[in-house]
Chain A
């Protein structure tokens, strides 16, 4: 049938199984919004308060569902407002398609009103991007973008659509949703090598990240762990992949990781790493990182193998399929010595746990745990609250911890929590700090407008806590621009936007506030006041090794 570009765009999204998109209209995307209007019974469009909120929502939706998140914006400022969100998705390998309007092709390159070279701007932060110059290419470009976004190592893809292409007409025939490229296992010879190394190991450790979740390889990994009697640890991006209370799970490791998890990794003789990329926040000083260990690395992205740490055995392939081939080659045996040692690390960790009275950050997160449903997604912003969440949140279901790991985007959480709520169809939680929340709190308007049930826990210490922590430890307590001195009343703020909330100062108040928040049909803010000098511990100093780990605060405040 003969259709306009904008109709083709919307119909292709529907054809690809898209049910919800996030976005913000504007001059050069008006035609697409007109088509969204006529297709509103088939495609739900969520209007945010800012394009950044929309792109983070698409990201949160994708993280919670595994589907491709879609965001739509206008040209120029609309497009540039997506940049931080696209970069966030890129660094965390999240499947996303971003669609921007642009000025008509006849005006491209003439610095027209709201014209920006968005394909140029997003070149280093997308898997690929497209400028669609002909309406005939539009449907196939969108389809190709979906394939790219979800294939191999997922990531964001941007499509720039000039206004005249939205207006022009051509034939369109719907097709069935495109499939991602067929995944494949690593080469047999590498798998055999890996099995040999694993079979000779006395102290194996399995380390997993976001790639495990993408590959949906949890069952295979747990089978391997049982077989070789290995403890499990993860990166920030791996959190929620397996239930937090799994007996083999030692928690996140790295700069603010669990002591036992970091120690087990440090003392292992073989590290089986699955869908990770050995970021500097994980390894610390790479020269001193797990020096006694042979590293086996399975990743779908071959460029990650030996990128930052040298691996003995690099396997390029789908984690799930590769593990399936690896499992029969691995000998089953118990390692009581190693288990004993790991348990000793656990014991030691317990002695470092923060069990102080009063409303401590750990207490706040533990209280939240009591109220979380099995399927509740928890989004965070970035900073101390993010690390306290990563350390203490308890998950039952995969894809329920939604956090900006690679880029570390303050202001990510609110949009992501909105997207996650639409993705799961359930209430979501946002754990944020007063600093991060200040960056994108305008999305309260969105949450109220769509009556999205989101519990917003603002861990409020009046400072930019993570930066302050570094200033305390490494910058002679020069608290340069980290003391906020704001007078924001978060409860009044909630009310101003048409939501509700309350402030708490004790664990008991917090507990009952959660009771009300989780019963509210819409967003609810809890302003949780904590001390400004709370620390995230343990801490591996930047570029440090496990020998430098800080487990107790010994600085005089």
Chain B
């Protein structure tokens, strides 16, 4: 199993996200994260999927996605060719015994305290997905109350854009 990230530029119409996720479902891929938003033009939306799978299956999936009339272009993004960024909010139990260690971990990860109460601390972490995973793993030593992650935002390095990706 490998982790893949693909960005799909689509016509911005209602139901388009459904058409794409339906293709993942049909090929039995579980989407591990998804981000969708309008782009520099309202005409298009950009949807970024992260999912686990095998090379063959991923290629099949991309081939099938290309056939959807709403899909304009697809770009596979790897850690080498792209910039990946994610944001996470994590709510920890404010346990006096753990407080100091949570703070030093947060400092090491450049996580920001965005809410503080007697019972809880909310931290905001920004970075790539692996950094999030590592931070969560550290926090598991204490009591995690709740986590929310945005999913990956990815852009290709350099001046090429998804609109200039040649379809197959």
Contact = CB atoms under 8 A, between A and B. Distances in A.
A128 interface: yes
Contact of B63 (A119, A148, A303): A303
A307 B15 contact: no
Interface of B: 15, 18-19, 22, 26, 60, 63-64, 66-70, 168
A553 interface: no
Contact of B64 (A119, A120, A303): A303
Interface of A: 119-120, 123-124, 127-128, 131, 148, 301-303, 307, 316
Per CB-CB distance, the 6 closest pairs between chain A and chain B, nearest first, are: A303-B63, A128-B69, A123-B22, A303-B64, A302-B168, A124-B26
A303 B63 CA distance: 5
Given A119-B15, A124-B22, A128-B69, 19 more contacts: A120-B18, A123-B18, A123-B19, A123-B22, A124-B26, A127-B67, A127-B69, A128-B68, A128-B70, A131-B15, A302-B63, A302-B66, A303-B60, A303-B63, A303-B66, A303-B67, A307-B60, A307-B63, A316-B168
A301 B67 contact: yes
A185 to B, nearest CB: 15
B8 to A, nearest CB: 15
B62 to A, nearest CB: 9
B66 to A, nearest CB: 7
Contacts of A120: 18
B72 to A, nearest CB: 14
Nearest to B15: A119
A119 B70 CA distance: 15
8 contacts: A123-B19, A124-B22, A124-B26, A127-B67, A128-B68, A128-B69, A131-B15, A303-B64
Nearest to B63: A303
A182 to B, nearest CB: 15
Contacts of B60: 303, 307
A119 B72 CA distance: 21
Nearest to B23: A124
A131 B15 CA distance: 10
A316 B167 CA distance: 12
A105 to B, nearest CB: 13
Contacts of B69: 127-128, 148
Contacts of A123: 18-19, 22
Contacts of B64: 303
Contacts of A316: 168
Nearest to B65: A303
B58 to A, nearest CB: 13
A307 B60 CA distance: 7
A418 B38 CA distance: 48
A131 B19 CA distance: 13
A221 B26 CA distance: 34
A64 B69 CA distance: 27
Nearest to A148: B69
Nearest to A305: B63
Contacts of B15: 119, 131
A436 B68 CA distance: 34
A385 to B, nearest CB: 32
Most buried by A among B60, B69, B70: B69
Contacts of A131: 15
